[in-house]
Amino acid sequence: MTGLTMWRLGDTTLRWGDRTYLMGVLNVTPDSFSDGNQFNDCERALAQAHHLVAGGSDILDIGGQSTRPQAEDVSLEEELARVVPVVRAIRQGSEQHPPLTIPLSIDTTKAAVARLAIEAGATLINDISGALYDPAMLATVADLGVPIVLMHSRGTPKTMQQLTQYDDVVKDIYDFLAQRVEAAIAHGIFPDQIAIDPGLGFAKTYDQNLQILRQLPRFRALGCPILVGPSRKSFIGHILNQPDPQKRVWGTAAACYGAIAGGADILRVHDAAPMHDVCRVADAILRPSP
């Protein structure tokens, strides 16, 4: 990798290459594709945060804007109202749940949400647009001095599934991510503070998602830790003939193993405990101790 081989997030250090890290999904939305309306109040979100931590999550990824296909954008005010109180609640705790010090990622494309969530206690930014939706995002992240995950996508969640034509899907994604990494560095973000995500399911067909997983090692050349988010995705449902996203746990497990074999450093998942077991076994096979 081009920079340091670790992230320090508060009291937590993530050392790239030592093992696979889990990013637990905490959607505080009414309309996410597999868990919408389940955790969109503070107490339920706080309970789920503790459930994800107990399951082995290393990071919690908090999102207030659904990114499922056809999802409508939400206003800045609405997204702030969804995520900032949850970040504060996780940090402060409640009568039922003690405070958590786990790294918190804010899943947003809006610079103002990123800034206020970091001020509330989040520790990194996860931007599905590669920091393209909001021209202030990269400068904001540089000013905050926090890491960012840059993901590949096209269009918006409402239009992305009509934008799946590529000359060479893996090369096109690689080139996009290389450009976004260069832009982040040009805005003052340190190279060792950047991770990349090829964006499974975002403007990709079933076959293209499989191509990305098969060719994941190509992205190592970008010199950044790689995040992969296969959890409960529709390409898994296609393989299994399983329309219910919450019944795709074992398919997700197989996709997670494939991603680890391809060099993924972080897996973004809904089902932390079973994927934690997958990571432990996969790491024992693929990252043997010296």
Q: Does 88 participate in catalysis according to the annotation? A: no
What pLDDT does residue 60 have?
Answer: 98
| Tens digits of residue pLDDT in 233-249 | 999 999 999 999 999 99
**Which range has the worst mean pLDDT, 65-69, 231-235, 277-281?**
65-69
Q: Which of 68, 268, 280, 287 is catalytic?
A: 268
Has residue 35 got a pLDDT over 50? Answer: no
Mean pLDDT over residues 95-123, rounded? 96
Confirm whether 199 is domain-assigned.
Answer: yes
Confirm whether 175 is domain-assigned.
Answer: yes
Confirm whether 4 is domain-assigned.
Answer: no
For residue 145, which phi and psi values (nearest 5 degrees)? 70, 35
Band the pLDDT of 159: cuts 50, 70, 90: confident
Work out whether strand 194-197 and strand 148-151 pair parallel, antiparallel, or are unpaired. parallel
What pLDDT does residue 43 have?
Answer: 86
Has residue 66 got a pLDDT over 50? Answer: yes
Confirm whether 3 is domain-assigned.
Answer: no
Mean pLDDT over residues 213-220, rounded? 98
**Residue 223's domain is classified under what CATH number?**
3.20.20.20
Q: Which of 233, 248, 280, 287 is catalytic?
A: 233
Has residue 3 got a pLDDT over 60? Answer: no
Domains: count for the chain? 1
Count of CB atoms within 10 A of residue 284's CB? Answer: 11
Q: Which of 255, 283, 250, 276 is nearest to 55 (CA)?
A: 276
Q: Which of 269, 202, 232, 169 is nearest to 67 (CA)?
A: 202
Report the share of the chain in percent with pLDDT over 90: 84
Band the pLDDT of 71: cuts 50, 70, 90: low
The token duo for 222 is: 């970008």
Element (H or E) spanning 228, and its range? Answer: strand 227-228
Confirm whether 109 is domain-assigned.
Answer: yes
Mean pLDDT over residues 108-125, rounded? 98
Estimate to the nearest angstrom the gap between the alpha carbon of 265 and the chain centroid.
11
Confirm whether 169 is domain-assigned.
Answer: yes
What pLDDT does residue 289 have?
Answer: 74
Band the pLDDT of 171: cuts 50, 70, 90: very high
| Tens digits of residue pLDDT in 16-34 | 999 999 999 999 987 544 5
Confirm whether 41 is domain-assigned.
Answer: yes
Contact, 262 vs 213, CB < 8 A? yes
Q: Does 82 participate in catalysis according to the annotation? A: no
What pLDDT does residue 235 have?
Answer: 97
Distance CA 233, CA 248 (A): 8
Distance CA 114, CA 107 (A): 8
Print the domain residue range for 82. 18-285
Confirm whether 249 is domain-assigned.
Answer: yes
Band the pLDDT of 39: cuts 50, 70, 90: low
| Tens digits of residue pLDDT in 180-216 | 999 999 999 999 999 999 999 999 999 999 999 999 9
Distance CA 192, CA 15 (A): 12
Q: Which of 152, 103, 99 is nearest to 124 (CA)?
A: 103
Q: Is 212 helix (H, G, I), strand (E, B) or coil?
A: helix
What pLDDT does residue 2 have?
Answer: 44
Distance CA 41, CA 39 (A): 6
What pLDDT does residue 95 have?
Answer: 86
